[in-house]
Chains A and B, each alone.
Chain A
Amino acid sequence: MFTIHLTMIAGAVIAATSITTPAPASLPPPVVVLAGTPSSVEKNCKTAICRNFDVYSDGRLTPVMISTLGLGDARIHVGSCAANAALSAATLLRFTANARGTRLCVCIPRSAFPVTGTATGKIIASSAPTSAEAAVVLNGSPPAADHFVAALLWGVGFAIPALFSTYLGQRVYIWQKRKDDERANTVSRREQFRNEPEAVQTFFNVFLPQLAGTSDEDFAGEIRNQYASIEGFLTNDDSVAMNEALDAKDRALIVAILRRNFPDRKAALESVESKG
């Protein structure tokens, strides 16, 4: 018994061939080679994904049987994939290989692919007493390049904002704490909100600074869209006054009402007081 491992490179595809023979008789056993078999196949939206490959013999006309393992109900036919109806073909194919090579097509059904990750199947060419095999990796995550980039970008998209937010959060915390300390002895209506809710922080720290330089109309429109998130922190009288100021697009009045209700937000309000 001896084993030959043969690796053929046809185009970009590698077919690993394993040939097992009994003790030699008068003629050496025929050698069958699989070439151009796909090393991996990506799942896509088609019912079956078809790929060409070639089968050669060592010069003699050799009866060969082609079958698959781990590729579901894969179909094989003689001829290139474009020329034949894939799913009408057989799961087992017998034909005579020659030295010129025979073009075959294998169609792997979508159901053979894993939902995620990969699975490995085989294309087997049997010609008693020898056989050749080629491994085919089924990739269940379509499409591979997109997926890899996407995974990378998910990572980047998460890590950078997380680091940034940690930094921003620390800065906000330090700044807020200093302000709170300054006001420690001040009795105010907003005493209960010493640790301001997130809605107020977002409004003054993130949203409002973006309104610097806007027109009065844009300013009032933008504030109106977000008003619900801070309305609860205004006195009842100022809530009514704010609605009127927003209707009138009165920038100065809007800022004055906000200043009255959020006296410690003086700096943020100054930056948007006048249009650019």
Chain B
Amino acid sequence: MSKSRDVVFKKLGLRTQPFFPEIGPDEQPLEEESLLKALDPRKDSRVINYYHDVYDWTGSSAVRGLSRPTGLTSFPRAVDPERPLFVIVSGTKSSGRDSLINLILYKIELLHCAVPRLLTVSDIPRSAEPAVKHVAEYFIASWPPAVQKTLGEIFDRFTKQKSTATDVHYSALFYAFRQNLKDELTMPNVLSIVGTDSYDIWKSVYLSCKKLFDYVVVQTKSPRAANTCKTSMTDTIVAHIQAQPLSAKKALDYVKTRMTFEHLGAPAVNVLAPLTSEAIDLLYEPGRSAQGGQEQPKTIGWLRETLRRAVDKHVERLVRIVDEEGPAGLDALSPEHLLVSRDTLWDARQEINRGIA
């Protein structure tokens, strides 16, 4: 952080940029990669402090609640090779969905004291039998060539005859994979399914591959498909967690939490400063395309990025004053001029909506 920027943040009563912290709670620089897109505590465990509970946990009895020291208050350790934990995280892009998946992977790492082996499978065919084969092929491809050859032979042997079952396909193939890789698979084995919203495909893949993986994590934009999967898989524990967009009231809570966390010294009279509740309301003013004048909830990713830009613009303006007039220039400003203006916030919102990087 430049000296002028440092002076500005001190004047605003903040340790760092609240919506893209440059330093962690221990005052040490944060790993930028751990904040850039989704939060990722695997890259820097201190980002656990920045999770905000935007999640509906009612569809999940096994996995529950954010927790600062341990990531999640409840998360069962996979111990039954016949029943891997099945977690579905639903939500739109930037809703906090991907951050939660990263947190789950981090929690698995903590529970097993080992970095999990993660296989992420996308572009899954729409029919169950080819979908299961697709997962097997991805799994084979994730190993070095020598192992691939052995696994390829196993694959050929077990798929020679096409599966005609309804839900479960080639389950013996995945059992054979596990047996063959007993020495290599000492860490938790995680399958991550992305890019398909079909509950039938998830179900088939889970039931077919369950002898190979310890955890199956699905990322989806369809909470309805997730609910259907959970309801239809009656003999399996399916945890469905839904990342939800925030109403204006919840956005205000989010901003308060962030500002309080990054505040320097004693609690501020105005905990939102340099933002205001009017500024948050402005973000929720219906745009031209809004229907019926109803408040449109916003994803936490959108809020964070918009507010980051607004605070950055505001700080840049104040930095210019410090550069030109010295720190005394800030002291000469009236308290209102230390607040993020309506125009600054509006510009940030427009920039995001126009896709300006």
- Mark A residues whose CB is within 8 Å of B: 44-45, 116, 141-143, 146-147, 149-151, 153-154, 156-158, 160-162, 164-165, 168-169, 197-199, 202, 206-207, 210-211, 222, 225-229
- B68-76, B137-145, B301-309, B335-343: which one contacts chain A? B68-76
Return chain A residues, CB-CB under 8 Å to B231: 165, 168, 202, 206
B64 A45 Cβ-Cβ under 8 A: no
Q: Are A228 and B198 in contact (CB under 8 A)?
A: yes
Instruction: Provide 27 A-B residue pairs closer than 8 Å at the C-beta atoms, listed in order of the A residue.
Output: A44-B113, A142-B111, A146-B70, A147-B77, A149-B73, A151-B76, A153-B61, A154-B62, A154-B237, A156-B61, A157-B62, A157-B237, A165-B231, A165-B234, A169-B234, A197-B166, A198-B166, A202-B199, A207-B224, A210-B228, A225-B197, A225-B198, A225-B222, A226-B200, A226-B225, A226-B228, A227-B126
Are A150 and B62 interface neighbours, CB within 8 A? yes
A-chain residues with CB within 8 Å of residue B111 when the two chains form the complex: 142, 146
Q: Which of A45, A142, A146, A169 has the most CB of B within 10 A?
A: A146
Count of A-B contacts judged by CB separation below 8 Å: 95
Q: Are B76 and A229 in contact (CB under 8 A)?
A: no
Instruction: Say how far A161's CB is from chain B's closest CB, in angstroms.
Output: 6
Q: With a CB–CB cut-off of 8 A, which chain A residues contact B198? A: 225-226, 228-229
Q: Given that A45-B113, A225-B198, A229-B198 are contacting pairs, would A146 and B228 also be in contact in the complex, using a CB cutoff of 8 Å?
A: no
Indicate if B227 sits at the interface (CB-CB under 8 A). yes
Decide if B166 touches A222 in the complex (CB within 8 Å): no
Query: Told that A160-B61, A165-B234 touch, could you supply 12 new A-B pairs with CB distance under 8 A?
Result: A45-B110, A146-B70, A150-B76, A161-B237, A165-B231, A165-B235, A198-B232, A207-B199, A225-B198, A226-B198, A226-B225, A228-B127
State whether A228 touches B126 (Cβ < 8 A).
Answer: yes
CA distance A16 to B224 in the complex (A): 58
Question: Is B165 at the interface (CB under 8 A from chain A)?
Answer: no
Asked if B332 is an interface residue, CB under 8 A from chain A, the answer is: no
Leading 9 A-B pairs by shortest Cβ distance: A165-B234, A45-B113, A157-B61, A150-B76, A225-B197, A229-B200, A210-B224, A207-B228, A228-B126
Q: Which residues of A contact B79 (CB under 8 A)?
A: 116
Chain A min CB distance to B196 (Å): 8
If over half of A's interface residues share one DSSP class (helix, strand or loop), that class is named, otherwise mixed; here it is helix
Task: Please determine whether B225 and A222 come into contact, CB atoms closer than 8 angstroms.
Answer: yes
Bitwise interface map of B from 96 to 122 toward A, beta carbon under 8 Å scored 1, else 0? 000000000000001101000000000
CB contact under 8 A between A206 and B74, given known A157-B237, A225-B197? no
Min distance, Cβ B253 to any Cβ of chain A, angstroms: 26
A232's nearest neighbour on chain B, judged by CB, is B127
Q: How far is the CA of A222 from the CA of B220 in the complex (A)?
A: 12
**Looking at the complex, which one of B77, B224, B230 makes contact with A222 (CB distance below 8 Å)?**
B224
Chain B residue nearest to A225 (CB atoms) is B197
Chain B residue numbers with a CB within 8 Å of A211 are 224
User: Which residues in A have their C-beta under 8 angstroms from that of B200?
Assistant: 199, 202, 226, 228-229
On chain A, the residues within 8 Å of B166 by CB distance are 197-199
Cβ contacts under 8 Å, A116 to chain B: 79
- Which residues in A have their C-beta under 8 angstroms from that of B197? 222, 225
What is the CA–CA distance of A149 and B126 in the complex, to the nearest angstrom? 37
Bound together, the chains give a CA A198 to CA B234 distance in angstroms of 12
Q: Which residues of B contact A226 (CB under 8 A)?
A: 198-200, 225, 228
* Residue interface mask B123-163, A partner, CB < 8 A = 1: 00011100000000000000000000000000000000000
A73 to B222, CA, bound (A): 53
What residues of B have a CB within 8 angstroms of the CB of A161 in the complex? 230, 234, 237
Q: How many angstroms from the CA of A169 to the CA of B235 in the assembled complex?
A: 13
Q: How far is the CA of A184 from the CA of B62 in the complex (A)?
A: 44
